[in-house]
Amino acid sequence: MNKGKKLYEGKAKIIYETSEKGLVVQHFKDDATAFNNLKKANVEGKGVLNNRISEHILSNISQCGIKTHLVKRLNMREQLIKHAEIFPLEFIVRNIATGSLSKRLGIADGTILEEPLFEYCLKDDDLGDPLIAKEHIYAFGWAKEDEIKEIDKMTFRINDILQGMFRGVGIKLVDFKLEYGKVWNKDKQEIVLADEISPDTCRLWDIKSERKLDKDRFRKDLGNIVQAYQEVARRLGIMPEETNISEVKEFAKTTSIKFKKK
Ligand code: 5GP
């Protein structure tokens, strides 16, 4: 399998063609952006961590019977994925009110929602990824009704899986964003979970201290971005203990997790 030319470059990832039909390479960059590209920085090591964390999460989701685009991780920054035709939509799930929901509707930050709340946004940077209704999706043909029904079912299950996975390592899954696409399987198209699931696309709070372990550290200038992502990787059991251990230890002091003495 050879990596070919660049097909697409996004804010945090690059997609390259490959010599194999239907497969592409997803490369994770260290670039961090927020507020529709108004805030930008290079966060050294972020791409490597997101590659590992997303591989771990998508593999777990796949083991639960949900189809994803992931074929395998290739190296520190790259994954082999199925080339999906991406729906131009962002699927947001909220378990706790914060972020744009609190701002938009005045719901107190941290309010636990009785049921997971699903929101749909149009993936369009020029428009600032606006919130839309399902009716807009059908009216403008961004997805069909039966596709959204299937995606909602997949999203609901993914939320359950992720909540359990993170709760088990002392993290609250506050909210997250998913993307889906369609791939050909023999002669029929099927819906797969696409993109990534990482601290870039989720809000993750330490259960006890509510310390933020996600991209809000960048958005809100809280510092220690990489250390927070490393902490997520370490808790998920996918990060070697020796990496930047002193910085991770410093950061861990502010969370509920205790380091075991060797
Ligand atoms: P909010 O709408 O409150 O800004 O974001 C809700 C959740 O979706 C957060 O976990 C946030 O990280 C994620 N999210 C929403 N839009 C985007 C996006 O364009 N890119 C990324 N990486 N995450 C997003």
Please state the domain extents for the chain: 3-84+224-254, 87-206
Alpha-carbon 218 to chain mean position = 15
Does the beta carbon of 32 lie inside 6 Å of ligand 1?
no
**CA separation for the pair 229, 174 (Å, rounded):** 16
In whole angstroms, how far apart are CA 149 and each of 22, 91, 153, 185? 25, 12, 6, 20
The kind and range of the H/E element at 139 are: helix 134-139
What would the pLDDT profile of 20-61 be if each residue is shown by its tens digit? 999 999 999 999 999 988 999 999 999 999 999 999 999 999
Ligand 1 atom with least separation from CA of 103: 3
- DSSP, collapsed to helix, strand or coil, labels residue 42 as strand
Cβ contact 251:224 at 8 Å:
yes
pLDDT at 1: 78
Q: What pTM, to 2 d.p., does this model score?
A: 0.92
The answer on pLDDT for 107 being more than 50 is yes
Does the beta carbon of 129 lie inside 6 Å of ligand 1?
yes
The two domains 3-84+224-254 and 87-206 share their CATH topology (first three levels equal)? no
CB < 8 Å & 24+ apart, contacts of 248-251: 251/224, 251/227
What would the pLDDT profile of 87-99 be if each residue is shown by its tens digit? 999 999 999 999 9
Does the beta carbon of 116 lie inside 6 Å of ligand 1?
no
Tell me if the domain spanning 87-206 has CATH number 3.30.470.20. yes
**CA separation for the pair 195, 205 (Å, rounded):** 22
What would the pLDDT profile of 216-254 be if each residue is shown by its tens digit? 999 999 999 999 999 999 999 997 555 554 544 555 555
pLDDT at 260: 40
Provide the CB-side half-sphere exposure for 218 (13 A, CA). 27
Ligand 1 atom with least separation from CA of 102: 3
**CA separation for the pair 233, 246 (Å, rounded):** 16
What would the pLDDT profile of 193-208 be if each residue is shown by its tens digit? 999 999 999 999 999 9
Does the beta carbon of 248 lie inside 6 Å of ligand 1?
no
Ligand 1 pocket mutation pick from 177, 212, 232 by most atoms within 8 angstroms of CB:
177
pLDDT at 133: 98
Residue type, 18: T
Q: Please state which CATH class domain 3-84+224-254 belongs to.
A: alpha beta
